[in-house]
Structure 1
Amino acid sequence: MAAQYAIEGTTAKGIAASVERGVTEGGLAPGDALPPVRRLADDLGVSPGTVATAYKELRQRGLIVTRGRGGTVVAEVPSVASRRPPRVPEGLTDLAGGHPDPAFLPVLRPPAAVTPVYGSHRAAPRLAALEEATRRWFERDGVPARHVTFAHGALDCIARLLSTELRPGDAVAVEDPGFHHLLDLVPALGLRTVPVTVDDEGLVPESLRTALRGGVRAVVCSPRGQCPTGAFFTRRRRDELVAVLREFPEVLVVEDDHNAEVGGAAAHTLAAAGLDRWAQVRTASKHLGIDLRWAGVACDAVTLARHDGRMLMTSGWVSHVLQEMVADLFGDAEVRALVAAGEAVYSERRAALIGALGAYRIRAVGASGLNVWVPVRDESAIVNGLRTHGWWVAAGARFRIAAPPAVRITTATLAPGDAPRLAADFAEVLGDGQATYGG
């Protein structure tokens, strides 16, 4: 525990609040050790049971973790704050953000006039035109679309699904490495993350089976354009995963198909396999604009009822003004052509960097999506080394739980002509690191 911070309180809630205050204000940093239960109980003059109850609440809320003989420590990503990427230093080429190229995003044009309405849209939350377009969007890839709804983005949808389905302390299987905001979200909801290994084809079936046998209540994954590795389900892998999931029909399976339009990979989705409990969420952020906080959701009837029931009690509906914008974009032939051109360019740029790195015998993966994942031994050395050459890439620590170290390079704006220079700089930095750290 940080020497300058003293935990206070005479009740479990008071002790938990004191620890949370320390984390929020910086008195307790990620990795700082908390006192053993009996020692803190003696210091505060309370029973060990009171301290144990406080620690249990903090664990369920994702603020602390217990590491066996390593004791209880502040979580590396405490749920009171999400990991934010470091600010891009002045003058560097930003290849760390994971964002699409603005050149392939349409200009957003809000409706020219918005007619006032009496009351609210709770009774009719979805515009009929956008609902029908959303059904066609899912049905195009074989996803059942009898039950569809809308949300304010993928994470908004996933948070609502998990919070209505699970209870604090329940376990969620997540990809490792995986989407860093999801890795933050799960503990923030008071849930436990269980890592599932990812290879070039996505979730590894045996790793998923192990997680399911361990009692996870939900699985969250991406069928293509997986962040950060670019993995995508082949038909064979999809069928293997479905066979595993059928052994656990009560588990909710949530697919985040955020790269549906620009992933550069075919759709072999779990959502099309007839599972009992499932949902697939697709957003407009990657192909229509990051400021469009809208997502379409297809799911089973029970999941729909739970999602919409919770939404009715909170935000109620997605703005109809926003829905009109999305519906217009979906129906615009020029926008569809622009998105298709972007998908082709993104594939070319990914392949260019993977090929350039391969020329130096540097293994990189990125079969779909906007990023390339490069395994390394020392993330900091690579990030800092490339910085001296004018490149800014993302350290892999934000994206992984138990997976080996790597760096993520967003190739969405990396021109193929620049890939050889980046690869040469990467090889130089890697060579320097091997000489420094003993190869």
Structure 2
Amino acid sequence: MTVQSEIAGASASEIVESVREQRERGLLRPGDALPPVRALAERLGVNRNTVMAAYRQLALAGLVTSKGRGGTRIADPDPIAQEGYAADTVLRDVGTGNPDPDLIPDPSAALAGMAGRPVLYGEPVIDRALEGWAHDWMRAAVDPALELRLTVTSGASDAIERLLTQTLTRDDAVALEDPCFLPSMNTVRLGGYRTVPVPVDSEGMTVAGLQAALEAGVRAVVCTPRAQNPTGASLSAARAVALRALLADHPYVLVIEDDHFSMLSSRPYHSLIGPQQLRWALIRSVSKFLGPDMCLAVTASDPETAERLAMRLSPGTIWVSHLLQRLAHTLVSDADVLERIRAAAAHYADRNAAFAGRLSAHGLPTEVGDGLNLWVPLPVPARGVTAQLMRRGWLARPGDEFVLADAAAASHLRLTVHDLDDDDAERLARDVAAAVSAVSRVG
């Protein structure tokens, strides 16, 4: 069914709001076709570009899907892709994005002596011991001209959500890397913001992409300076300089850096945040090296952003437990734990490099980035390859789950292979090559 009569508006944002309202009221249902651009523009008396812009905003917000000649339809609210293990599968899951549980430090010894005195209502949000350690950790990554304040959140995604909420209003535009980290993509869409894709190459966010996003009026930029998920790309020094130069003309744009791999990264840290930036935040989670269940991230930011963020972490209600903060500090202050983290970093890098070599030997050249995963380019669509891999006992993650606008990413696999032994790794590499051949024959 094509719906025309209820959609109204004289601007793109008004048309978007009208469609959103009709959808929320149940007047537009999943699968309903929106009017063709030309027809709706004529009925509303607006330029076709206005309707096209509205449909593009709706698509980026995940509210509609474009079917080409099949038109634009209200999206089916299927569960959106999430990180982590797939539920209810007997297949070997190589798309999880998880760290190796055997490489996560055991907190048992630390738990015995870290409790200390009780913490009461009205006390500081961040534990003083953790703050002292984290200040040195974050200060080394931030331009020395910038004034820095610290706070803590329940992980990096929680920090990004709170930072965007305290800065933006609904339908504001946010620049995201494309392909994009799933939690960041979902946080922006569920918050009601508009995503503006910025392509990523081997050196990180592209200069032309960020320039286009800034010209489009983005109010915030979310970037992963190293170990970008899913591509594994890290900002080069030259790329970071060029991006900082662009952002210097936009000092009030909130720049959020998510350095999720931090202590495990093998690449140098190059920041987008220059001394002219007035709204900024650097987030470092402990989830990759101390374990996802730690649910703790440290955020360094400008004083005003820190104050707003702290106000959203009211003591005693939605603050991060000081017991958890003390545990994290106890672990990262332990020399044996730090040595285990260094060993884990070497393990991830070595296993990913070894598997990339196996794929290359099977005719699928793959470059090694940074992070827990490999981003594998394919000569065929990844969906067909994942279907073939399921027949061989593997559950892989296709690249189109991470796509905002970059169609080329759909011909990639994101594989998590660091916990495979040599025999399983060779079998998976062989099966990926066979799956590609099978899809090529069908194509």
Same-fold call, TM > 0.5?
Answer: yes
Deviation at 1:356, TM superposition (A): 1.3
Letter in 2 for 1:387: M
Distance 1:60 1:252, change over 3 A: farther
Change in 2 beyond 3 A, CA 1:76/1:253:
farther
1:226–1:368 CA contact under 8 A, matched in 2: yes
The alpha-carbon deviation at position 153 of structure 1 amounts to 0.7
User: Which residue of structure 1 aligns with residue 204 of structure 2?
Assistant: 202
1:432 and 2:438 matched? yes
What is the SS of the residue equivalent to 1:280?
Answer: strand
Q: Does 1:312 align with 2:311?
A: no
Among 329, 332, 338, which residue is 1:330 paired with?
332
CA distance in 2, matches of 1:206, 1:331: 42
Q: Name the CA distance, whole Å, in 2 between partners of 1:17 and 1:275.
A: 36
The 1:380/1:70 distance shift into structure 2, 3 A limit, reads: closer
Letter in 2 for 1:106: P
Q: Is the 8 A contact 1:99 1:412 kept in 2?
A: no
Give 1:107-256 correspondences, 5 Å limit. Answer: 107-109=106-108, 110=111, 117=118, 119-120=120-121, 122-142=122-142, 146-256=148-258
Shift of 1:152: 0.8
Pick from 64, 81, 84 the counterpart of residue 83 of structure 1. 81
**Cα distance in 2 for residues equivalent to 1:278 and 1:337:** 32
Letter in 2 for 1:400: V
Over 3 Å counting, the alpha-carbon distance change for 1:114 and 1:384 in structure 2 is same
Q: CA deviation at 1:101?
A: 0.5
Is the 8 Å Cα contact of residues 229 and 373 (structure 1) preserved in structure 2? yes
Confirm or deny: 8 A CA contact 2:125 2:315 kept in the other structure. Answer: no
Q: Tell me, yes or no, if the aligned pair for 1:60 and 1:187 is still in contact at 8 Å.
A: no
Q: C-alpha distance in 2, partners of 1:252/1:287?
A: 27
SS class of match (2:343): helix
User: How big is the shift at 1:126?
Assistant: 1.3
What TM-score do you get using the length of structure 1 for normalisation? 0.83
Q: Secondary structure of the residue that 1:341 maps to in structure 2?
A: helix
Alignment of 1:51-62 (within 5 A): 62=61
The change in CA–CA distance for 1:363 and 1:111 in structure 2 (over 3 A counts) is: same
Q: Match of 1:104?
A: 103
Give the drift of 1:75: 4.0
Q: CA deviation at 1:33?
A: 2.6
1:124 CA drift (Å): 1.4
Distance 1:21 1:248, change over 3 A: same
Post-superposition shift, 1:270?
2.2
TM-score by length of 2: 0.82
d(CA) in 2 for partners of 1:426 and 1:69? 33
Work out the CA distance in 2 between the residues paired with 1:106 and 1:340. Answer: 11
Letter of the aligned partner of 1:381 in structure 2?
Answer: G
Q: CA deviation at 1:412?
A: 2.8
* Aligned residue identity for 1:104: L
Equivalences, count: 414
Q: Distance in 1 between matches of 2:304 and 2:267?
A: 30
Q: CA deviation at 1:269?
A: 2.1
Mapped contact 1:63–1:74 kept (Cα < 8 A) = no
- 3-state SS in 1 of match to 2:293: coil
Given the superposition, is the C-alpha separation of residues 354 and 304 from structure 1 closer, same or farther in structure 2, using an over 3 Å criterion?
same
Q: Rate the CA distance shift 1:359–1:118 in 2: closer, same or farther, 3 A.
A: closer
2:120–2:316 contact (8 Å) kept in structure 1: no
CA–CA separation in structure 2 for the residues paired with 1:254 and 1:14: 31
2:24 corresponds, among 20, 24, 31, to 20
* CA offset digits 1:10-48 (Å, max 9, x no partner): xx999967733759xxx944x6435789x99xxxxxx99
Asked if the contact 2:174–2:193 (Cα under 8 Å) also holds between the matched residues in 1, the reply is yes
Shift of 1:169: 1.1
| 8 A contact 1:222–1:256 mirrored in 2 | yes
- C-alpha separation between the residues in 1 aligned to 2:94 and 2:334? 30
Aligned partners of 2:393, 2:248: CA distance in 1, in Å? Answer: 49
The one of 350, 360, 363 equivalent to 2:362 is 360
Q: Find the aligned partners of 1:196 and 1:349 in 2 and give their Cα distance.
A: 30
Letter in 2 for 1:235: A
Q: Which residue of the partner structure matches residue 295 of structure 2?
A: 293
Partner of 1:413: 419
1:101-136 per-residue CA deviation (whole Å, 9 max, x = no partner) reads 01110123445685774851x331111100011112
**Displacement of 1:382:** 0.8
Structure 1 15/378 Cα, relative in aligned 2: closer, same or farther at 3 Å?
Answer: closer
**Residue identity opposite 1:412 in structure 2:** H
State the one-letter code of the partner of 2:400.
A
| Residues 200 and 365, structure 1, Cα contact 8 Å, conserved in 2 | no
Note if 1:74 corresponds to 2:74. Answer: yes
Contact 2:252/2:277 (8 A) holds in 1: no
The answer on whether the counterparts of 2:143 and 2:274 sit within 8 Å (CA) in structure 1 is yes
Return the alpha-carbon distance in structure 2 between the equivalents of residues 383 and 70 of structure 1: 26
Would you say 1:351 and 2:353 are equivalent positions? yes
- Structure 1 364/420 Cα, relative in aligned 2: closer, same or farther at 3 Å? same
Whether the 8 Å CA contact 1:111–1:325 is kept in 2: the answer is no
